[in-house]
Amino acid sequence: MTIELRQVRYFVAVAEQLSFTRAARDLHLAQQSLSQQIGALERQLGVRLFDRDTRGTRLTPAGAAFLPSARDLLDRAEAAVAAVRRAGHSHLELGFLSSTANYMLPAIVRAVRARLPQVTVTTHDLAVADLVAGLRDGRLDAAFTRPPLVADLVTTTIADEPVCAVLPAGHRLAGRDSLRLAELAGEDWVLSPRESWPPWHEKYDRDFAAAGFEPRVVHRAAGVPNLLGLVAAGVGVTRLARSARSIRRSGVAFVPLAGEHAETVLAWHPGRVPAALREVVADLAATVELTELG
Partner DNA sequence: GATGGTCACAGCCTCAGACTGTAACCGCCA
Partner DNA sequence: TGGCGGTTACAGTCTGAGGCTGTGACCATC
276 binds its own copies (CB under 8 A): yes
Query: Which DSSP string corresponds to 37-78?
Result: HHHHHHHHHTS--EEEETTEEEE-HHHHHHHHHHHHHHHHHH
Only segment of 26-34, 126-134, 190-198, 256-264 that touches DNA (CB under 7 A): 26-34
273 binds its own copies (CB under 8 A): yes
Only segment of 20-28, 203-211, 237-245, 274-282 that touches DNA (CB under 7 A): 20-28
Q: Are 105 and 96 in contact (CB under 8 A)?
A: yes
Q: Which of residues 58-87 bind DNA (CB under 7 A)?
A: none
Q: In angstroms, rounded to a whole number, what is the distance separating the alpha carbons of residues 227 and 191?
A: 7
Q: In angstroms, rounded to a whole number, what is the distance separating the alpha carbons of residues 13 and 24?
A: 8
Q: How far is CA 147 from CA 47, 128, 261, in A?
A: 55, 10, 12
4 binds DNA (CB under 7 A): yes
Q: Which of residues 56-85 bind its own copies (CB under 8 A)?
A: 60-63, 65-66, 69-70, 72-74, 76-81, 83-85
152 binds its own copies (CB under 8 A): no
Only segment of 38-46, 92-100, 119-127, 168-176 that touches DNA (CB under 7 A): 38-46
Q: Are 289 and 159 in contact (CB under 8 A)?
A: yes
Q: In angstroms, rounded to a whole number, what is the distance separating the alpha carbons of residues 238 and 288?
A: 27
Q: Are 104 and 153 in contact (CB under 8 A)?
A: no
- Strand ranges in the chain using DSSP code E only, listed in sequence order: 50-53, 56-59, 91-97, 120-126, 142-145, 154-168, 188-191, 216-220, 238-241, 252-268
Task: Report how many residues bind DNA under the rule CB under 7 A.
Answer: 25
238 binds DNA (CB under 7 A): no
The one of its own copies, DNA, none whose footprint includes residue 114, by CB under 5 to 8 A per kind, is none
136 binds its own copies (CB under 8 A): no
Across the chain, which distance is largest between two alpha carbons, in Å? 84
Binder among 19, 22, 29, 42 for its own copies (CB under 8 A): 42
282 binds its own copies (CB under 8 A): no
Cβ 31 to DNA, closest distance in Å?
5
Q: In angstroms, rounded to a whole number, what is the distance separating the alpha carbons of residues 158 and 145?
A: 10
Cβ 53 to DNA, closest distance in Å?
6
32 binds its own copies (CB under 8 A): no
48 binds its own copies (CB under 8 A): yes
Binding site for DNA (CB under 7 A): 4, 6, 19-22, 28-33, 35-40, 52-57, 271
Binding site for its own copies (CB under 8 A): 2-6, 9, 39, 42-49, 60-63, 65-66, 69-70, 72-74, 76-81, 83-85, 87-90, 270-276, 278
